[in-house]
Structures are given as C-alpha cells and as structure tokens.
Amino acid sequence: MKSVDTIVVGGGLVGAAVAYGLVRLGQTVEIIDEGDIAFRASRGNFGLVWFQGKGSDMPEYSRWTRGSTEVWPDLAEDLRAETGVDVNYFKKGGVHLCLSDEALETHSDLIRRMHNIHGPEYGVRILDRKQLDDILPGLGDDVVGGSWSPHDGHASPLYLLRALHSRFQQLGGVYHSGARAEFIERDGNDFVVRTPVSTHRANKVVLAAGLGNRPLGKMVGLNVPVNPLKGQILVTERAAPTATLSIPTTFVRQTAEGSFLLGDSHEDVGFDTSSKSAIMADIADRAICTFPFLKDLRVVRSWAALRVMTPDGCPIYEQSETHPGAFTVNCHSGVTLAGAHAMNLAPMIAAGHLEDYMSVFSAERFNV
C-alpha cells in the first residue's frame, strides 16, 4: 500500500479546501469521503462569505475570518481560471439588517466591540434607514437600520465545492467516494485509515469530517466537541436581478441564477434534517417583512441541514499531542473560511505544525 503525504477525511467544503491547499503546495493527498449520503453541511450552506460580526469574543477568530475574506478573491479567480467553474463570488459588501430599535442597539454595540479589535481598518459602518434605502431599495417598514461591511459578500456553495474538487484532482489529488472512514490508527510513522471498502496510508491525517470528527478524533487523541445545529432554507423561483444579488444580507440573498435564498434559522434538535412548516413560516415572514416584494414570488424548494457547531461557535484547529501528524478542522463556515483553509491553514499542515497564534483555536479552551 502506497503511503501519501496526507489523507483528508471528509470531502465537504472544509476537507476540499484544505486538500486543495495541500496539493497546491505539491503534497500528495487523498480525500476519503463518505459520499453524498453524508450529512454534508456544505450542501445546505446559505452561501455568505461573511466577516462583519464574527468573533467579537475571540479576536483571533475575527482576524482569521477577515484574513479569509482577503484571500477569497484569489481563490475564486484561481478556480475560475483553472477549472472554468465560476463560483459566483460577489464582494461588493454585505448588510446586516435590524428589524427593531432594540436589535439595532445590540448590533451597534457588537460593531463597536469589533472596531476595538480591528481599529480603523475594520471598515464596517452602521447605517440608518435612509442610508440603507440608497443601497437596498424595496425595504419594508420594519427595517430600522443595519450595518454595512465592504469585506463581505456571497458565493455559490455548490459551485465552490465542485470547483475545489476539480482543481484538487487537476493537481494530482485522489478522491475516494463511498469510503466512510471508520478506523484510524498509527502504524510506525504513518497513519492507517480504514473504510468498509479500502485501506489508506499517509504520513499525516486531517479530520475534516464535520460532525463525524467527534468519534474519529477519539481514535487519534483529539477531543472534538461538535454538535449539530439545524438550519432551514427556502428557495424562491428565479427572478430578475435586484440589489440583493450584489449586496446580500444575513437572511436574504439572491443567487447569480436569480433565486432568492431565505434562511438563518437555528434549531438544536439533534440529527434531524427534516423541513418543518412552522420554522419555514417564520423564515418567510421575516423575509417578507424585510423585503415586501418577495411576497409575489413562489417558493420552489426548501431544505434543512446541520451546522457543525462548537460550544462557543468558533472553529477548532488542533494537532494531536498524542498522535502528532493528526489534525482536526472544524467550523460552521465552510464557505467563508474556504480561503483561510486553502491559503493559510494548509501550509501549516503541510509544514507539520500550526503556528503559535493558532493555539487559541485548540479544544483545550473548553477544559478550563
């Protein structure tokens, strides 16, 4: 059995981004993937590339996210130029809308704290209703204000996943589908990963299996406390482009194909991916309050998916102390952080150690 440099367990956006970053550096990499029967948060992702309010309680996470938005244009362009797949990335700014004075006040406090982290280059501004009307025509009466960030935008999660896989394989990466990693162990200097249909061997192993990281982590001395947090999304029929195609909001965005995606529900209900009408009604209500013109559109699809949530909502990046060479990557922002994972995290994994400033992302933080 040939040993490669790195096995990435999980072929969703997190695994594919890391794997793409590794093959770009000349590493030999195999992705071991359960396949499309997996929970696959990547397929349910809303598609925001979003920074403005992230990490107010963990400045390193905020900077890490900002760093991802900085490299995202290069990522999108590399994928487009080399694979021909346009991931429909727009970076023309993003708006967080507030539907009450109280929400606006809370949100303004958050933005002030974020200013304190990033200083003048933070670039996010609180907008009153009149300023919002200039960039997002058609807002409903309930919208009182919001914030605008020049760093934010959106992209197609599905095209991103496809493009990352294409580029990964172009650069010599090997993808195994229908291969659910069930057992990982050390064998000499290597790791051996077993699936029901195959056995794989590598010098390093990266756990990027979403909710599957919890059981897999235990096999290599990694505590990975991730839990499912369900989100539901509604999709409307396609419509002519509106301002939200250029400037998405946190719960309404228009895709490049013209569909509106309505979302951002949060339910702690375990491994349940069913669409439920009560939540769907709430999502539709809020979307129509925000943009009343949406009431004329028909909803043509809906889905639910499971976010991969850590106890504090921030990512976990860690190398095992007992099994050096085993890394784990966990987050609920596979699209936003794709840039950071490919361009910034992958080089550290290739070098065999995470930079010192990454220690804050260790799951050790939950053991205090």
Among positions 325-354, residues that touch another protein (CB under 8 A) are: none
CB of 132 to another protein, least distance (A): 14
243 binds another protein (CB under 8 A): yes
Q: Which of 237, 259, 238, 247 is nearest to 138 (CA)?
A: 247
- Closest approach of Cβ 253 to another protein, in Å? 14
What gap in Å lies between CA 243 and CA 238, rounded to an integer?
14
Tell me which amino acid residue 207 is. Answer: L
Could you tell me the CA-to-CA distances from 164 to 25, 32, 52, 270, 300 in Å, in that order? 15, 15, 25, 29, 28
**Residue 84, amino acid:** G
Binding to another protein by residue 137, rule CB under 8 A?
Answer: yes
Should residue 237 be labelled a site residue for another protein when binding is judged by CB under 8 A?
Answer: yes
CB of 141 to another protein, least distance (A): 17
Closer CB to another protein, 301 or 353, in the complex: 301
Q: Which of 52, 46, 47, 14 is nearest to 33 (CA)?
A: 14
Q: Is 171 in the site for another protein (CB under 8 A)?
A: no
DSSP 72: H
Q: Three-state SS for 153? A: strand
Count of residues near another protein by CB under 8 A: 17
Question: Nearer to another protein by C-beta: 257 or 355?
Answer: 257
Q: Distance between CA 104 and CA 85 in Å, rounded?
A: 38
3-state secondary structure of 271: coil
Q: What are phi and psi of 319, to 5 degrees?
A: -105, 140
Q: Does 241 bind another protein (CB under 8 A)?
A: yes
Q: Tell the smallest beta-carbon distance from residue 259 to another protein (Å).
A: 8
Residues of span 286-305 touching another protein by CB under 8 A: 293, 296-298, 300
Report if residue 240 touches another protein, rule: CB under 8 A. yes
Residue 322 token pair: 């007992």
Q: Residue from 195, 242, 265, 362 that binds another protein (CB under 8 A)?
A: 242
Two structure tokens written together for 148: 């605008």
- The answer to whether residue 36 forms part of the interface with another protein (CB under 8 A) is no
User: Can you tell me which of 158, 256, 348, 360 binds another protein, judged by CB under 8 A?
Assistant: 256
CA dist., res. 155 & res. 87, Å (int): 6
Q: Examine residue 27 and tell whether it contacts another protein (CB under 8 A).
A: no
- Examine residue 321 and tell whether it contacts another protein (CB under 8 A): no
For another protein, which is the closer residue by CB, 92 or 201?
92
Interaction site with another protein (CB under 8 A): 137-138, 237-243, 256-258, 293, 296-298, 300
